[in-house]
Every structure is written in C-alpha cells, then in structure tokens.
C-alpha cells in the first residue's frame, strides 16, 4: 500500500524531534568504539528520558552520562553479535506487534516504579488473606447439563474425594481431573493463587478450608471441585517478581509512546482514508532501531551482569552490612501485630500463642490458635507500621493520637512487637538492598567498559542539538 508522501513526511517529523538544526541533525555527536552516534539518536534518547522523568527533568550532564553508558553497553552487545539474534532482528510494523520486553534497563525510574507497583500488589494481596497453595480437581459439567449428568458428576466427585481422604495417591486423579488453574505437572507440587483469581465459590472454599486435608466436594458453574489447601503465605518477595514487573513497566512505557505517536500521526480531515489508516500504523525505522538497541542492551545486561552475579542471601547480607547508613529511616517504625479480639480471654490467648515464636509467624500462630472454625474470634494485622498508618499502633507505640476505635465485634485490642530506627535485618529492606546491589554490579561493569572502549564526545554539539 502506498502512503501519501506528505503524510509520511509529517509522521517522520513527529518522531524525529525538531528538524530546525539543518545539517547538524545528522552530525556525529560522539563515537564509541569507533562507531558514530548521530544527533538524531541523541535527540530521541533525550526526549524519552524527559518524558519518563518522575522527579524533575534530568540535567544535560545527567543525560550525557546516561547516553554514554547506554552506548557503551550497546557496543558490548554488538561485540557479542547480539544484533544477529532472531529475537532482535525480527521485523515489527506496529505497537500491537511489539514483544513483551523491557525497553530502558538503565533508567532508575523503572526500578522505582516497579517497587511502587510491587508495594501496591503486596498490600492488596496480603489485605485479602495472602496467597494460597492448593491442589485442585474438577469434574466438569456441560453448560446445559441434565439432571442425570449432574448426578453422575457429583457421584464421581464424591468417590474421588472419599479416596483422597483415605490416603489415595493424587497423581492419577490430577492427570485426568486437574482443574485448569495451571498445568497438570505443576499441580503435583501445588499452585499458588492470588485473591480474585478464581471463581467466587472456589474463593470462599479456599479461604475457609483448613490446611493439609482434602475438603468436601463443592459446586460452581464450572462443575464439582475437590480442593486441598497446602499452605498460605504473604505475597511473593520482590526478588521473585522483579523481572516480571520491570518488563511490565518498560513495555507499558513503550506502548504509550508508540500509541501516542500513532495518534499524533492521524490527519484531521476525512480525505484519503486509506492513507490515513496506513499512516496511523506507521512506526518509523529509527524508532524500531531504538527499540532493537534497547533490547540488545537488556540482553547484554542479563548476560554480563545479572547472570554472572546471581543473587544470594550471603551477598545481600554483606552488602547491607557495608551500607547500613543508606537504609536508616527518617522516622522510627514498628514491627509486630495488631490483634482485635472478641473477648479479653481471646486476647490473652492470642498473646500466649506467640510466645517464643518469630515475629514473622505471629499472625499465623494467632489465627491458627483462635480462628479454627467458621467463626473468627480475632482479626490480625501484621507487618511494618509507620506513624499515622494504624491508630492502635500510633496510640500504643508512637504515643500519639487517641485510642483506636476497635470494630464493634472485636472491642479488645492488643499491639505487640518492637520499634526500630533502622531495618534490623537486610530482609527488612530486601527490595532496596537487591536493587542497590544490582546497580552496584552494573556500575562496576560499566567502569570496565569505559576502560575497554574509546569514547569521543562533541559536547558543544550535544548541547546545541537539544536546546
């Protein structure tokens, strides 16, 4: 399909930044390992960095250093011939075809945004009861099942549940009746589920069922379920979801940029609709090359830094010990539990249940001791608390505010734990320790690249082309 030349020129100008620099737009602003880097590449890089900045606009000095670092890593990727990989060379025509990969691995704001997203997810999941490890079987029902089909399915589900309760091996049943929550092979070890991921009927049963035993058959629109709850725990550690979150944030940013560019490229008139549709989906070659460069940098980072320096508890602990001042809080925090009880006796029993137990297991111990049936005798909130986060903690620990207005059904309140001025363990600052540790490893690698590759920069032209 041919696109009107004027429309093509219009879209190209939008994506290439200001074209008022005449011949300087194609000038070489630096060379890295003998490879020329042109002004238009520098302009696009600055535009992205400024669009993504969250805490004020970066200075020219900051942009220069980031850009040089990026080009150094790109030189290392080219030397490793990563540009020959099919995943990097594959053609892409529009934002809808972009693979799910990160696009700005050297931008610290991506890490910050990932940490913020992690905190929101963790608060939501933990507030709803945390994650649950289950094995689940399902005897499916057709959408318009007859009474006879329902009876046969229920009879089959009851017989399976009876066999499992009597100690039968679950593997043969999983092979045939595994619920479609996850792949059958994963079901043998169990599947971790978040609140809200399943049918309401399944969710209710999952929350109420005791640990370690197969429960009774229950029905949902999908059919008859047999469930075993293996374990419950808070949301995953940041380490386990970091890569997923970084890719998600990076992909969101790139998609927003490309969609914005496509939107800006749409003509206002209704003429030449064929050309308009084609122009709205056009992604310039320079933008696609930027994306490939960013993907190459991400790949070489994985090879040369993250995979060569695998995270271990010992390394995190050592790094934390060497940098404790970095993690001191501006105000004290409290680690412990807030327990709301129906009676004074229940509150005393809750306090007794946590004796000689680590603080991280207090909530689990209290609930196991008192919430043993469908009636909940206590409500428990645990974790780290800052001032003004919880009225009971503010009153009992930080000596401010008024006594907490406890829920009417749980008028007795206990606050147990300890106040700290800094994280007592690297585990209590693990998200930040891990991010800082990886940043240190990346900077050490960049130092080696600066020694390896020659860099020549035309600073006057750099400044001129982004005025």
Write out pLDDT tens, residues 315-373. Answer: 888 888 898 888 888 888 999 999 999 899 999 999 999 998 988 889 989 988 998 87
| C-alpha to C-alpha distance for 74 and 83, rounded to whole angstroms | 10
Domain 26-94+280-328+435-466 has CATH 1.10.4030.10: yes
Whether 276 shows a pLDDT value over 50: the answer reads no
- pTM of the predicted model, to two decimals? 0.50
How many contiguous H segments (helices) and E segments (strands) does the chain have? 18, 10
Q: In which band, very low, low, confident or very high, does the pLDDT at 283 lie, cut at 50, 70 and 90?
A: low
CA triplet 308, 309, 315: central angle to 5 degrees?
160
* Burial category of 309 from C-beta neighbours within 10 Å (exposed 0-12, middle 13-18, buried 19 and up): middle
Give all strands of the β-sheet with 455-457 in edge-to-edge order. 35-38, 28-32, 455-457
pLDDT at 93: 38
Q: Chain centroid to CA 12: how far?
A: 34
Confidence of residue 448 (pLDDT cuts 50, 70, 90): very high
**pLDDT tens-place string over residues 49-61:** 877 665 567 788 8
Instruction: Give the residue from 217, 215, 193 showing the smallest Cα distance to 203.
Output: 193
pLDDT band at residue 280 using 50, 70 and 90 as cut-offs:
very low
SS3 of residue 225 by DSSP = strand
Architecture of domain 131-233: Roll (3.10)
Does residue 184 register a pLDDT over 90?
no
- C-beta of residue 139 within 8 angstroms of C-beta of residue 177: yes
pLDDT of residue 179: 65
pLDDT score at 76: 92
Q: Report the pLDDT value the prediction gives residue 21, as an integer from 0 to 100.
A: 40
Dihedral over Cα of 80, 85, 88, 93: its sign: positive
CB 283 within 8 A of CB 98: no
- Tell whether the model's pLDDT for residue 147 goes beyond 80: yes
pLDDT of residue 99: 42
Letter string b/e over residues 236-275, b meaning 16 or more CB atoms within 10 A of that residue's CB: bebeebbeebbbbbbbebbeebbeebbeebebeeeeeeeb
What is the pLDDT at residue 418? 93
Q: Is the pLDDT of residue 102 over 60?
A: no
Residue 347's pLDDT is: 94
Judged against a pLDDT cut of 60, whether residue 10 lies above it is answered with no
- The domain spans of the chain are 26-94+280-328+435-466, 131-233, 333-420
Reply yes or no on whether the pLDDT at 87 is more than 80.
Answer: no
Task: Tell me the pLDDT band of 111, cut-offs 50, 70 and 90.
Answer: confident
Check residue 89 and give its pLDDT.
Answer: 65
């Amino acid at each position: 399909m041919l696109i009107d030349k004027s429309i093509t020129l219009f879209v190209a100008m939008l994506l290439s930044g200001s074209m008022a620099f005449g011949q300087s737009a194609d000038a070489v602003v630096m060379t890295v390992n003998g490879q020329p880097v042109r002004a238009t590449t520098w302009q696009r890089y600055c535009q992205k960095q400024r669009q993504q900045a969250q805490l004020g606009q970066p200075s020219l000095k900051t942009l220069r250093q980031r850009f040089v670092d990026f080009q150094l890593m790109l030189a290392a990727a080219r030397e490793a011939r990563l540009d020959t990989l099919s995943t990097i060379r594959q053609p892409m025509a529009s934002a809808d075809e972009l693979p799910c990969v990160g696009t700005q691995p050297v931008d610290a704001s991506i890490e910050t945004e990932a940490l913020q997203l992690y905190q929101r997810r963790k608060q939501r999941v933990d507030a709803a009861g945390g994650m649950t490890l289950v094995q689940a079987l399902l005897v499916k029902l057709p959408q318009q099942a007859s009474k006879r089909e329902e009876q046969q399915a229920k009879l089959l589900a009851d017989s399976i549940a009876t066999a499992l309760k009597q100690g039968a091996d679950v593997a043969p049943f999983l092979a045939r009746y595994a619920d479609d929550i996850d792949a059958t092979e994963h079901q043998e070890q169990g599947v971790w589920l978040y609140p809200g991921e399943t049918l309401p009927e399944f969710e209710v049963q999952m929350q109420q069922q005791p640990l370690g035993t197969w429960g009774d058959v229950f029905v949902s629109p999908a059919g008859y379920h047999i469930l075993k709850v293996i374990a419950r725990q808070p949301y995953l550690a940041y380490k386990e979801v970091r890569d997923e979150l970084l890719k998600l944030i990076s992909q969101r940013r790139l998609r927003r940029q490309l969609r914005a560019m496509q939107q800006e490229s749409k003509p206002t008139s209704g003429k030449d609709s064929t050309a308009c549709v084609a122009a709205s989906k056009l992604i310039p070659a320079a933008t696609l090359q930027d994306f490939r460069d960013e993907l190459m940098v991400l790949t070489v980072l994985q090879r040369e830094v993250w995979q060569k320096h695998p995270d271990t508890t010992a390394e995190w602990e050592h790094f934390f010990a060497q940098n404790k001042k970095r993690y001191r809080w501006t105000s004290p925090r409290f680690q412990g539990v807030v327990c709301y009880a129906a009676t004074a006796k229940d509150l005393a029993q809750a306090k007794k249940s946590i004796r000689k137990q680590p603080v991280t297991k207090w909530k689990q111990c209290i609930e196991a001791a008192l919430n043993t049936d469908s009636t909940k005798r206590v409500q428990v909130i645990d974790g780290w608390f800052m001032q003004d986060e919880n009225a009971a903690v503010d009153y009992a620990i930080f000596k401010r505010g008024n006594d907490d207005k406890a829920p009417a059904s749980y008028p007795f309140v206990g606050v147990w734990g300890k106040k700290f001025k800094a994280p007592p363990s690297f585990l209590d600052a693990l998200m930040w320790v891990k991010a800082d540790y990886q940043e240190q490893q990346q900077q050490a690698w960049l130092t080696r690249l600066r020694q390896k590759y020659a860099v020549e920069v035309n600073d006057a032209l750099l400044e001129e082309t982004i005025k």
